[in-house]
Amino acid sequence: MQGENGMGLTAKIRTRDGWAVSHAVVTVTDMTGTQVLRAEADAEGAVRDTTELTPGPYTVIVTAVGYAPAAATAIVTASGRAEVGNVTLGRQGGTELPPPGPWTVDPAHSSVAAIAQHLGISSVRGRFTDFAARIEIAPDEVAKSRVEAVIRAASIDTGNGMRDDHLRSPDFLDVEKYPEITYRSTGITEAAGTDRWTVHGELTLHGVVRDVDLDLAYLGTGADPWGGTRAAFRATTELRREDFAMNYNQVLQAGIAAIGTTLRVELDVQAVQGGALPQA
């Protein structure tokens, strides 16, 4: 905590997708390169140090095992306080994709979520609980890497049975007529940032095929408890319901749509190298 006089340095250390890095170490140097402070993040990834610093600019270096170092500038005010804000750490090796070859998405440790605006003031989050996907990392040319995914439309779950039944009906997904949602990539290109990629592909939803790009972050690769190797990804995109012939809506008296026309899709993926998944 900061001292009673308000002096001290504060920062929050996060991964690219917002998780706290609890084992991060923050080192502060003055403009001569002399270390003046060293502190560790707490379980919430927060750093709160009460060391009194002379007003002026400082360099803040954040390190953590498994992550690439990050640097930021902090200005200590006349009150002796410096608020660094959020410092984002990227995984080491983030400039590469996982090792070449096949990878199988583990649905038990992955999620496919969709978020829609409700009544113009809040959001409703749903997820699909039944899906499968394969990733093929090309050995020579990244652009030739491939992703294929199949989602069972009837597995939509928003936590409300009546709403889920409506979403399965012809007003929305029409799961009897269109039981599967599929995505097949057509290419991949490097995006802004060394660990960011854009996956180009075709999404088949409600019987309509559209080109859809995924904004993909590669979060790193590591060993799992079952002797395998896993890679983690996070991907997002936005879809317009009318692009897929899902035009149902109820307009309230104020002219506000009960359900937003734009869906935000969020994918959190763990993939296992090869094709074998653990039994537990």
Q: How confident is the model at residue 66 (pLDDT cuts 50, 70, 90)?
A: confident
Distance CA(88)–CA(148), nearest Å, equals: 30
For the chain, the structural domain boundaries read 8-89, 101-273
Average pLDDT over residues 4-29: 80
Q: 272, exposed or middle or buried, with CB in 10 Å at 0-12, 13-18, 19+?
A: buried
- Mean residue pLDDT of the chain comes to 84
Comparing 92 with 69, the larger pLDDT belongs to: 69
111 CB burial (10 A radius; 0-12, 13-18, 19+): middle
Compare 199 and 23 and report the one with higher pLDDT.
199
Residue pair 183/149 in contact by the 8 Å Cβ criterion: yes
Q: Report d(CA 29, CA 21) in Å as an integer.
A: 21
What does the pLDDT read at residue 176? Answer: 97
> Residue 270: which residues within 8 A CB-CB, separation 6 or more?
105, 106, 109, 110, 230, 231, 232
Give 223 or 188, the one with higher predicted confidence.
188
What pLDDT digit, counting tens, does each position of 40-63 carry?
999 899 998 888 888 999 999 999
- pLDDT value for 168: 94
Note the CATH architecture for domain 101-273: Beta Barrel (2.40)
DSSP-based three-state secondary structure for 244: helix
The radius of gyration of the chain's CA atoms, rounded to the nearest angstrom, is 23
HSE of 11, CA atoms in CB hemisphere, 13 A: 32
Output phi, psi for 79, to 5 deg. Answer: -80, -5
| Nearest C-alpha neighbor of 213 from the set 204, 203, 201 | 201
pLDDT in tens, 240-280: 888 998 876 644 444 444 566 788 999 999 999 986 544 44
Q: How far apart are CA 267 and CA 215, in angstroms?
A: 10
| Res. 3: pLDDT tops 50 | no
Q: What is the pLDDT of residues 97-156, one digit of tens each?
A: 678 889 999 999 999 999 986 544 557 889 999 999 999 988 777 778 899 999 999 999
**From the CB of residue 195, how many other CB atoms can be counted at a distance below 10 Å?**
21
Q: Which of 81, 80, 84, 42 is nearest to 60 (CA)?
A: 84
Burial of 9 (0-12, 13-18, 19+ CB in 10 A): buried
Report the C-alpha dihedral over residues 51, 53, 59, 63, rounded to 10 degrees: 0
pLDDT of the residue at 4: 40
Please give the pLDDT value at position 18: 75
Check: CB of residue 114 under 8 Å from CB of residue 238: no
79 touches 7 (CB < 8 A): yes
Domain 8-89: assigned CATH number: 2.60.40.10
